[in-house]
Structure 1
């Protein structure tokens, strides 16, 4: 049984997906703003979990993802197979390739404001873009719901990465995890808990009887049943 089969209450409208994305972003913001080191910029230079990026870079990357997903699905008239032609670069060789970088001067609170703004933009574009819209993504041409699901996965996982670097605990809600497993990971069949399964499916954890994944992917394309 897949998570999609199990979760018969999965949202089918843009508004429902926008609500789910908004919830994930607000959860991330509340979690990161509660960190004792939220005002300490140096603490955010620690490595984020198992990534090569710092906590600061990972939060920037998350904001960048939400910004990019919103821009991409909000511009469905692009030629097939193309992305919005925005310049991307790394600030250091081991860092993420981003469009956006947050100003360091305001510290982590400013960084989280950037994250909040980018999340709000994708939520808004999810609500207002026609469900029939399709935009290019390497995981498959997707719709507003698919890009919202990608945004939720990025938000939950990178909050997990950042909190690990800041010495905090984070557990994502099972319903959000089951939702995105059903939408983006149709190849994952499991009767195990959704959060550990999402961590396993993205190379971040282990499941009994399953080898840890060294390579992983999701499938963004709109499936016929949706």
Structure 2
């Protein structure tokens, strides 16, 4: 997908509504998962499906709190304590109460997504906050949250056994925002899976390392 500067077109923005839609679709799909499957591995990840939803919730929470202070930090993360509950497990600040079962786990995901949606809606576009790949703006954090949601739900779909095919226009907008050099000759969802190291494309082997570009656009 070529950049808007190269094509002369205006890049459609990534919005809080886009993020809200991504989280809602993910939660709706995950509600259909069998209870017994949650301790299985999530696709190619080393985490269980339960841990992967906790990690996704944590991603959304972390992006929200990074934007939260009146003067968001530019040199590092807001200092919540992130820790793993087992060797090899994800290091999270967010953990769901196991006693609440999968329904409670998905409530945690919904709530974390809602926090980021609210921050993206209310923070001025000029806001900048730290991310490990470079400082970004509210739109950038929305796009990152969408990519985390779509791609980790793909991992979960492999582990939990359901079909997952998010809207092409949603994938297209986050590709244009975060992966402007992704191939434009491929449908947006396969292109996003390739850009995040999940799959190969014809003539393009699966990536072993990848990163997005969250740099604020002009």
Question: In the alignment, is residue 2 of structure 1 matched against residue 10 of structure 2?
Answer: no
Q: Which runs of 5+ in 1 are unaligned?
A: none
Q: Residue 152 and residue 6 in structure 1: after superposition, are their counterparts in 2 closer, same or farther (change >3 A)? A: farther
Which residue of the partner structure matches residue 88 of structure 1?
82
Q: Which runs of 5+ in 2 are unaligned?
A: none
Which residue of the partner structure matches residue 30 of structure 2?
32
Report the CA distance between 1:169 and its aligned residue: 1.4
Q: Give the TM-score normalised by the residue count of structure 1.
A: 0.91
- Superposition RMSD in Å: 1.6
Q: Is the 1:66–1:118 Cα contact (8 Å) retained in structure 2?
A: yes
Which residue of the partner structure matches residue 213 of structure 1?
207
Q: Is the 2:18–2:170 Cα contact (8 Å) retained in structure 1?
A: yes
What is the number of residues matched between the two proteins? 216
Deviation by residue 1:181-217 (Cα, 9 ceiling, x = unmatched)? 1101123233110000100111101100112111111
Distance 2:198 2:115 in 1: 28
Report the CA distance between 1:2 and its aligned residue: 1.3
Which residue of the partner structure matches residue 168 of structure 1?
162
Distance 2:73 2:123 in 1: 17
SS in 1 for 2:30: helix
Distance 1:160 1:180 in 2: 16
